Amino acid sequence: MSARGRCRGVILQAHRLERLDVLKVAERIRALNGYIDETLSSWHSQSMDMLMGLKTFVAVVEAGSFTAAADRAHMSKKLASKYVGELETRLGVQLLHRTTRSLSLTDAGHRFYGRAVRLLDDYEAMTADVRDADAGLEGVLRVSAPMSFGEMFVQPILAEFRAAHPGVTIDLRLNDRFVDLASEGFDLAVRIGQLEDSSLLARRLGTIELCVIASPAYLENKAVPDHPSDLQQHACIRDSNLRAGHAWPFSIDGQTRRIAVSGGFIVNSATAVRDLVLRGEGIGLCPDYAIATDLAARRLIRVLDAYAPEKLGAFAVFSDARRLPARARAALEHLVTAFKRPDWQMRPQA
């Protein structure tokens, strides 16, 4: 064979070897890609199983049984039990004591439950924020608030909120009764006074003071009361919306005592009390936010300040942070922030 032929043979053999190396590399790359896809799929599956396990465990604890939790989640009882069982296996601890008639948390379950709830809250908030960041806030926001307080504060603050989020429709119901948020379909409610429903979560908006007030014209013909018991000699305008009702609370000798009052008017509105007091019809017990401008202008005068009762709180309440839509969370934050601004203070500044 000539030298040229031998050289050509060597070149062809090198090309074959190079092609084989390329094929081996490509095969290895395909194998690596398959491993990566399989690993990522496994991680994704494990993460989703963990998430479902957390959700199901919390649902079982809150519902009190696997059957009730499964019904709420639209899954079978067997699947709910499987999710919780796999969660316990992964954690290596028992979370629930199970018998045919009862279900209770173990010590580890008690510790895990609180953290699981917070983790799910954060997850729901994170996904909602990411989803709504692109879509923008929209939908109907249902809010309940007391009549006078709602007209004076909640309505204009929510108008500000809607100006920033025109896709939101606000259904504001002004009523002085305490609505049932869950059964009546409200996202948020504003309440004044003591919070007695422990199932609700709350954010404080501000502090409210109940003031005993009279007009200068009324006091021209009547003795200024020096002690709460003196009110029995005066015409008192009673607000049926106040729990005080016909017996107004006062701080006397370090204790809260209620003094029975009477008069020719019973109304169900703080603004109505203010208007009647301005007309000289008697003495009223009124929240400070409803009379701030009248006090500043000296159209009304406070009496019995030395016996002022304990201040009340104003709160925004909601039932379940995990199920609160993004528009409601945003409105809640707007309310809390707005009430901290000087222009929304509920009393004139000294």
Model confidence pLDDT, tens digit, residues 219-268 = 998 999 999 999 999 999 999 888 766 899 999 988 889 999 999 999 98
Q: Is residue 123 domain-resident? A: yes
Identify the pLDDT of residue 35. 47
Please identify, among 111, 132, 153, the residue that sits at the C-terminal boundary of a domain: 132
CATH, residue 149: 3.40.190.10
- What pLDDT digit, counting tens, does each position of 39-64 carry? 444 444 455 678 888 888 888 888 88
Residues 189 and 322 in one domain: yes
In this structure, are 165 and 44 located in the same domain?
no
| Same domain flag for 40 and 113 | yes
| Whether 164 and 222 share a structural domain | no
Is 8 in the same domain as 151?
no
The boundaries of the domain holding residue 95 are: 3-132
**pLDDT, tens digit (0-9, with 9 covering 90-100), for 9-43:** 544 554 554 555 555 655 655 665 554 455 444 44
**Residue 105, domain CATH:** 1.10.10.10
Residue 161: pLDDT over 90:
yes
Residue 323 belongs to some domain of the structure: yes
Least confident window among 90-94, 162-166, 330-334: 90-94
Residues 9 and 105 both lie in one domain: yes
Which has more confidence, 157 or 61?
157
How many domains would you assign to the chain? 3
* 187 & 254 share domain: no
Q: List phi, psi (to 5°) of 199.
A: -80, -10
Same domain, 190 and 321: yes
